[in-house]
């Protein structure tokens, strides 16, 4: 029988053998709960939803329907990786929805951060609900709820993203196979399930995605500059052994232009801001001292490879006073 709470004496899952035991137990529980019914899952490609998807594929195969909504604010290569791993390698029943235009059209001209977040969150639910309505006979909704989510919602720190605010008339029974796990355990289980390292050891990424790093009103060209500069930072961190060591690293591109020179010509372009921080709980954060040679290499790459960027800045502000995101 599936457990609702983490047993007080539960051993921390730190080894492949412990992960395998958890996987075997979950597969049996999931089969007992779901029977021959269908399950729906919003698959973002983040660690939690990816592990839930991989568990459900093992347990009920084609009875799982994964919906991956691309809101246009994902990092470079993310939607492609979700399709490659889940549809091509794991043979999942995957619905891919490219809703980029829908999101960006709604966000056009909106500069206030909270308003942007509301639009992205609201539109996400709408797109997901539309897809759910197209499917027949779904009884279950799977979610990547983890143990800290439950503890925090009990303490009133944050609302549990239970059922994701779906419309009232949509009733699903919840399936939450990783809800008694801590994040580090979810990663061990994901590794044992054969998910790629790039997915298992992914740094945290906010739900509103690059939307919080393209401050002010989002334009497609500046969003592209955020995506490309972020991809360079991630690539360089991975190449230089910093992936998995630094808690979070990315770029933000605010709506600010300055004069510069490119190819002997005056240009008015944006600046990309590098942020690389370490923390344990994201409540406070310290700055990762990026080696100077690597930093100058990243600056060179971004200013020569990314369209619209003529300067790169390195944000040395800890949290507080800065938040991690620029928003």
Which residues lie near ligand XMP (CB under 6 A)? 204, 206-208, 248, 282, 319, 323-325
C-alpha to C-alpha distance for 62 and 87, rounded to whole angstroms:
11
Residue 84: both structure tokens together: 């490659």
- Return the number of the residue (90 or 120) whose C-beta is nearest ligand XMP: 120
C-alpha to C-alpha distance for 307 and 316, rounded to whole angstroms:
25
Beta bridge partners of 251: 274
Q: Which residues are CB-contacts of 211 (< 8 A; sequence separation ≥ 6)?
A: 71, 73, 107, 116, 117, 120, 218
Q: Residue 209 CB, nearest distance to ligand XMP (Å)?
A: 9
Beta bridge partners of 252: 273
Q: Residue 324 CB, nearest distance to ligand XMP (Å)?
A: 3
Q: Residue 321 CB, nearest distance to ligand XMP (Å)?
A: 11
Q: Residue 319 CB, nearest distance to ligand XMP (Å)?
A: 5
**Range list of β-strands (E), the chain:** 38-42, 64-70, 93-98, 138-142, 173-175, 248-252, 257-262, 265-278, 286-287, 309-314
- Return the number of the residue (29 or 325) whose C-beta is nearest ligand XMP: 325
The DSSP 8-state label assigned to residue 88 in this structure reads I
Q: Residue 285 CB, nearest distance to ligand XMP (Å)?
A: 7
- Return the number of the residue (297 or 319) whose C-beta is nearest ligand XMP: 319
C-alpha to C-alpha distance for 157 and 253, rounded to whole angstroms:
30
Q: Residue 206 CB, nearest distance to ligand XMP (Å)?
A: 3
Q: Residue 231 CB, nearest distance to ligand XMP (Å)?
A: 17
- Return the number of the residue (30 or 223) whose C-beta is nearest ligand XMP: 223
Query: Which of 243, 249, 240 is closest to 293 using CA atoms?
Result: 240
- CA 152 distance to own-chain centroid: 19
DSSP 102-154: HHHHHHTT---HHHHHHHHHHHHHHHHHHHHHHSSSEEEEE----HHHHHHHH
Residue 168: both structure tokens together: 């009232």
Query: Which of 118, 64, 128 is closest to 96 using CA atoms?
Result: 128
- Return the number of the residue (32 or 282) whose C-beta is nearest ligand XMP: 282
- Return the number of the residue (27 or 125) whose C-beta is nearest ligand XMP: 125
Q: Residue 134 CB, nearest distance to ligand XMP (Å)?
A: 27
Q: Which residues are CB-contacts of 85 (< 8 A; sequence separation ≥ 6)?
A: 50, 195, 196, 199
- Return the number of the residue (91 or 323) whose C-beta is nearest ligand XMP: 323
- Return the number of the residue (243 or 269) whose C-beta is nearest ligand XMP: 243
C-alpha to C-alpha distance for 186 and 126, rounded to whole angstroms:
28
């Amino acid at each position: 029988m599936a457990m609702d709470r983490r047993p007080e004496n539960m051993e921390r899952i730190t080894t492949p053998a412990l992960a395998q035991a958890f996987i075997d137990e979950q597969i049996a529980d999931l089969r007992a709960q779901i029977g021959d019914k269908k399950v729906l899952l919003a698959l973002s490609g983040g660690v939690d939803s990816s592990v839930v998807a991989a568990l459900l594929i093992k347990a009920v195969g084609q009875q799982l329907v994964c919906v991956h909504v691309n809101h246009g604010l994902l990092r470079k290569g993310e939607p492609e990786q979700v399709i490659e791993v889940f549809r091509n390698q794991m043979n999942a029943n995957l619905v891919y929805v490219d809703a980029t235009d829908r999101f960006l059209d709604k966000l056009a001209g909106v500069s206030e951060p909270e308003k942007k977040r509301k639009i992205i969150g609201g539109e996400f639910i709408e797109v997901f609900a539309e897809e759910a309505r197209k499917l027949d006979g779904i009884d279950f909704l799977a979610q990547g709820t983890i143990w800290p989510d439950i503890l925090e919602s009990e303490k009133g720190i944050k609302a549990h993203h239970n059922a994701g605010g779906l419309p009232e008339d949509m009733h699903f029974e919840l399936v939450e196979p990783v809800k008694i796990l801590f994040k580090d355990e979810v990663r061990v289980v994901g590794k044992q399930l054969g998910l790629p390292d790039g997915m298992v050891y992914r740094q945290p990424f906010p739900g509103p995605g690059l939307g919080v790093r393209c401050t002010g009103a989002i334009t497609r060209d500046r969003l592209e500059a955020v995506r490309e500069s972020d991809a360079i930072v991630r690539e360089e961190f991975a190449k230089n052994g910093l992936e998995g060591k630094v808690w979070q690293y990315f770029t933000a591109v605010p709506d600010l232009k300055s004069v510069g020179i490119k190819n002997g010509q005056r240009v008015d372009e944006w600046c990309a801001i590098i942020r690389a921080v370490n923390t344990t709980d994201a409540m406070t954060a310290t700055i990762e001292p990026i080696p100077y040679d690597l930093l100058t290499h990243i600056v060179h790459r971004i200013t020569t490879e990314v369209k619209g960027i003529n300067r790169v800045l390195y944000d040395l502000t800890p949290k507080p006073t800065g938040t991690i995101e620029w928003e």
